[in-house]
Structure 1
Amino acid sequence: MKPKAGQGEVRVGRYRWVVVALLFAATAINYIDRQMIGVLKPTLAAEFNWSESDFAGIVFWFQVAYAIGYLSFGKVVDMFGARLGYIVAIVIWTVSHMAHGFATGVVSFAVARFGLGVGESGNFPAGIRAVTDWFPQKERAFAIGLFNAGANVGAIITPLLVPLLVLWFDWRMAFFVTGLFGIVWLAVWWMVYRHPNEHPRVGAAELAWIRQDPADPVEKIGWARLLGVKETWAYALGKFLIDPIWWFFLFWLPGYLFERYDLDLKTFGLPLAAIYLISDLGSVAGGWLSSRLIKGGRTPNFARKVTMLICAVCVLPIWFVQSVDNVWIAVLVIGLATAAHQAFSANLYTLPSDVFPRGAVGSVVGIGGTVGAFGGMGMALFAGYILDATHSYEVLFAICASAYLLALLVVHVLSPRLAPVRMSSASVG
């Protein structure tokens, strides 16, 4: 008999939320390491005399590696589970992150970013697989929203911490110091994480709560079969449209604030941190809203898509942000857009676990991440070109404003009901 929501939640254990805390911390570290190149862009561009296209090229190679790694880690996670997948990922990304401290120009930065992209691509396939293993469907969006909020915490910490490290030491030491975070997390993960079926801290009541959904196949499902299913493309094309926007925010917002509002290393950190603080609220709120709707009796299809529609509308004002002269009003407009992105993303991330069997979740997430990274490659090269050519962000913000409504439309057309996919008889149309 299933535990009832509300009452049962008090009686069952809560160790699964410890797992979410670990995923949150990993995602925060992931984004500290990822965002540092954006925060340091003004410093590095001045030291190495980079053009916008030089910087875009460095970002591009990160995206290439991210695409390759995301697809590979999706398969690794499906084969070996979240525990080993995370260990491999964080070793690669921590070593590559610290290697930035030895870089001497565009090529060496691109090589370090390539390694970072391979390693960091494992975070979300492994994290979503862990959530799928540890949570029933009704809690997954909220759990994913919580651990996805780590991205914003990392993005908040980075502009506050990294400029201080640069001012106290130099930019090279900043990479070495922040690399220690990954080493500490790896040790904790190794000691603490196990599958719920094997974990000594998980009682029978919590295990029953985790397993309350109907059983699904655990067979490993090949990419060829998944690529023939339209729900795979609903997720992948959604990622293709929205992931480049987040990459743009992550890598170009620091430089935009620095230039548009005449800030410096001491002053641009606080506005940037405020943007990602607002984003953090959006990440949690998006997961909470859809989970609340499901617990209230709405279908996952209704809950996810209504939440995503609200988010898509909230991004629209960013189209006009370049005309805003006050930095703090700009922070509110951009913060609303980044919060909406995170809420939208938290719900999009649940699509694989909502509709696919467990044996396919990691691979579908990997396919989506790869396709999203291809979008990011295009956005990086286009941003470098358009900024060198026009010195204006207007076109880029227009793309940001429209991407989410288009992504929701694509998801709805390809998966109008978010119905569970039965791989043995899945339609390939």
Structure 2
Amino acid sequence: MKKIKGMRWWMVAMVTFGLIVNYLARNTLSVAAPTMMADLHISTREYSYIVVAWQVCYALMQPVAGYVLDAVGTKLGFAMFALAWSLACASAALATGWQSMALFRGLLGLTEAAGIPAGVKATTEWFPARERSVAIGWFNIGSSIGALCAPPLVVWTILHASWQWAFVVVGVLGILWSLLWMLFYKHPRDQKHLSDRERDYILAGQEAKYQHGVPAKASWKAIVRTRSFWSIAIPRFLSEPAWQTFNAWIPLYMATERHMNIKEIALFAWLPFLAADIGCVLGGYLSPLFHKYFDVSLFNSRKWVMAVGALAMIGPGCLGLADSPYTAIALLCLGGFAHQTLSGALYAITSDSFGKNEVATATGLAGMSGYLGATLFTLLFGVLVTVVGYSPLFVVLSVFDIIACIVVFGMVRESAPLGVPARA
């Protein structure tokens, strides 16, 4: 059997494409929103209910999805969820009002919840600790690319067909990816194209927690009782509202506050997500650079990457000071870069803090915390945006991310996973 050099990077590329279709599905709504809302006579408050339906279902399903992935494995679990979210996305074309759209988006939230836990689990299996933040940065770029591709793809489909067809097209793309995932993804132990040299390199660079045979899987109760969990869950609760606001509200902000038409939205709405791509990748490489040149441990270097992202989040907090729409877009770009930088650092900390039979469950539980925070903020956003406008709400998001960074520095400690003795 022919061995493929750098097989671990091919595997993370597949995860990246999975996250692209995942985020295409969730961002189709925000781009189609101006057209869809006019067609179905949906108000801004009712639109916030649609967004919340997705967020609540996503939040509640995150720990369940993580548990399923830890139980059945990355390959089968990710494929099942991807097929389901693709069908749910396409079904949104059948919506006739805000209630039915909320139902279909709720189904999408339930099924999309496996995306990030699956990515973290796959990189934990395939990468040594020193490369894991880089690998997470590369797969996390899929979320930004998906959001980046949504405006031109959805607007093109609307202009040439209808907003309903936009949901169908994205659903078909997800079905195709799920089939490719089942054909090509394999665990390192089953991947015949993986060379012995690369396999040894991966195993030698993994922490001791991966070298204790097959540890018993920790329960949800055991995970949530740990300091490690809350040191991640609280920052996720505070930071996730920013990213969900970017995903759900940027096109509407451009249409209502900056008075852009649908073609201008297609031209500019993807730029913050391009900046987010840069944040994903640069954030991944910053961690080993801090470790090498600033004499901090690999684990603590993740904290400093998060600090970079939190400070950059001051940018979108200044949105109200921007008179030019182009300056506003630039500040939103800085926000996209900032959030994905700190988000990747949080995922790396999660991967470092939990064992391979716990990491997807822990990621899912922390994700539930994040999306509960996003849900509460979206409910407030839908009500307050018509009263105080967008600018004060973006200030709140910036403050939330800075507080999240402070919590990480105050609470996160390097520790052994559940069931594995800590090093003396």
TM over 0.5: yes
Match of 1:116 in 2: 108
Where does 1:261-300 land on structure 2 (aligned, <5 Å)?
Answer: 261-294=258-291, 298-300=296-298
Q: Which amino acid aligns with 1:277?
A: L
In structure 2, do the counterparts of structure 1 residues 38 and 339 end up closer, same or farther at CA, with 3 Å as the change threshold? Answer: same
Separation in 2, partners of 1:17, 1:33: 25
Deviation at 1:114, TM superposition (A): 0.8
Consecutive unaligned residues in structure 2, runs of 5 or more = none
Q: Which amino acid aligns with 2:129?
A: Q
Separation in 2, partners of 1:384, 1:43: 18
Deviation at 1:308, TM superposition (A): 1.0
Match of 1:379 in 2: 377
Question: Which of 400, 414, 419 is 2:415 aligned to?
Answer: 419
Match of 1:3 in 2: none
Q: Counterpart of 1:175 in 2: which secondary structure? A: helix
Separation in 1, partners of 2:405, 2:316: 18
Match of 1:223 in 2: 220
Question: Which of 352, 366, 369 is 2:367 aligned to?
Answer: 369
Where does 1:81-96 land on structure 2 (aligned, <5 Å)?
Answer: 81-96=73-88
Deviations 1:362-382 (A, max 9, x none): 111011011111111101101
Q: Which amino acid aligns with 1:211?
A: L
In structure 2, do the counterparts of structure 1 residues 201 and 12 end up closer, same or farther at CA, with 3 Å as the change threshold? Answer: closer
Deviations 1:272-327 (A, max 9, x none): 11221111111100011103333556312331111111111111121221231222
Deviations 1:138-190 (A, max 9, x none): 11111011011111111111111111100100111111112111111111111
Separation in 2, partners of 1:111, 1:322: 34
Match of 1:5 in 2: none
Q: Counterpart of 2:358 in 1: which secondary structure? A: helix
In structure 2, do the counterparts of structure 1 residues 170 and 422 end up closer, same or farther at CA, with 3 Å as the change threshold? Answer: closer
**Pair 1:55-2:25 in alignment:** no
Question: Which of 308, 314, 328 is 1:330 aligned to?
Answer: 328
Question: Which of 185, 209, 222 is 2:201 aligned to?
Answer: 209
Match of 2:252 in 1: 255
Contact 2:351 2:359 survives alignment (8 Å)? yes
Deviation at 1:414, TM superposition (A): 1.9
What's the RMSD between the two structures over aligned residues? 1.6
Contact 1:81 1:129 survives alignment (8 Å)? no
Runs of 4+, deviation exceeding 4 Å: none
Contact 2:308 2:341 survives alignment (8 Å)? no
Where does 1:123-138 land on structure 2 (aligned, <5 Å)?
Answer: 123-138=115-130
Separation in 1, partners of 2:175, 2:344: 27
Question: Which of 41, 50, 72 is 1:80 aligned to?
Answer: 72
- State the percentage of identical aligned residues: 30
Contact 2:92 2:104 survives alignment (8 Å)? yes
Contact 2:284 2:345 survives alignment (8 Å)? yes
Contact 1:92 1:118 survives alignment (8 Å)? no
Contact 1:318 1:333 survives alignment (8 Å)? yes
**Pair 1:389-2:392 in alignment:** no
Q: Which amino acid aligns with 1:317?
A: G
Q: Which amino acid aligns with 1:419?
A: S
Separation in 2, partners of 1:268, 1:205: 49
Where does 1:59-74 land on structure 2 (aligned, <5 Å)?
Answer: 59-74=51-66
Q: Counterpart of 1:35 in 2: which secondary structure? A: helix
Separation in 2, partners of 1:291, 1:184: 35
Separation in 2, partners of 1:295, 1:112: 48
Q: Which amino acid aligns with 1:231?
A: S
Deviation at 1:424, TM superposition (A): 5.8
In structure 2, do the counterparts of structure 1 residues 29 and 102 end up closer, same or farther at CA, with 3 Å as the change threshold? Answer: same
In structure 2, do the counterparts of structure 1 residues 425 and 228 end up closer, same or farther at CA, with 3 Å as the change threshold? Answer: farther
Separation in 2, partners of 1:177, 1:250: 19
Separation in 2, partners of 1:322, 1:214: 46
Deviations 1:352-400 (A, max 9, x none): 221222111111101101111111110110111102333x012211111
Q: Which amino acid aligns with 1:406?
A: I
Match of 1:148 in 2: 140
Match of 1:6 in 2: none
Q: Counterpart of 1:359 in 2: which secondary structure? A: coil
Match of 1:195 in 2: 187
Question: Which of 91, 95, 99 is 1:103 aligned to?
Answer: 95
Match of 1:171 in 2: 163
Deviations 1:31-80 (A, max 9, x none): 11101111111112212222221011111110111012211011011111
Contact 1:131 1:143 survives alignment (8 Å)? yes
Separation in 1, partners of 2:38, 2:296: 53
Separation in 2, partners of 1:291, 1:254: 36
Deviation at 1:412, TM superposition (A): 2.1
Contact 2:218 2:418 survives alignment (8 Å)? no
Contact 2:237 2:372 survives alignment (8 Å)? yes
Q: Which stretch of the first structure deviates more once superposed, 148-157 or 215-224? A: 215-224
Deviations 1:74-115 (A, max 9, x none): 101111111111011101100100000111011110110011
